[in-house]
Amino acid sequence: MDTLTTMYHYYWKEKNKIVVQNMVGGYKGQEHKHTPKDFQKWIEKNKIKPEHLVNLGE
């Protein structure tokens, strides 16, 4: 796992939304919210690899 150059996407659920926090090299990036349906579309559109998604709700 190359944490200095790889962007990871941490996500959790708040009410009926999924909140995503981007992080690369230990620096927090943009935080954004999606509906569950839009979250899947966002993953596909941005070609996010499953190993770069971290579910903080588990």
Instruction: Give Rg (Cα) of the chain.
Output: 11
pLDDT for 50: 95
What's the domain count of the chain?
A: 1
Give the range of the structural domain holding residue 46, as residue numbers without chain letter.
7-55
pLDDT values of the chain reduced to their tens digit, one per residue, 58 residues: 566 788 999 999 999 999 999 999 889 998 999 999 999 999 999 999 999 999 998 6
Question: What is the phi-psi region of residue 25: left when phi exceeds 0, alpha when psi lies from -120 to 50, beta otherwise?
Answer: left
pLDDT for 25: 85
Q: Is there a domain that residue 2 lies in?
A: no
Q: Are 43 and 34 in contact (CB under 8 A)?
A: no
Q: Is there a domain that residue 1 lies in?
A: no
Residue 45 three-state SS: helix
pLDDT for 2: 61
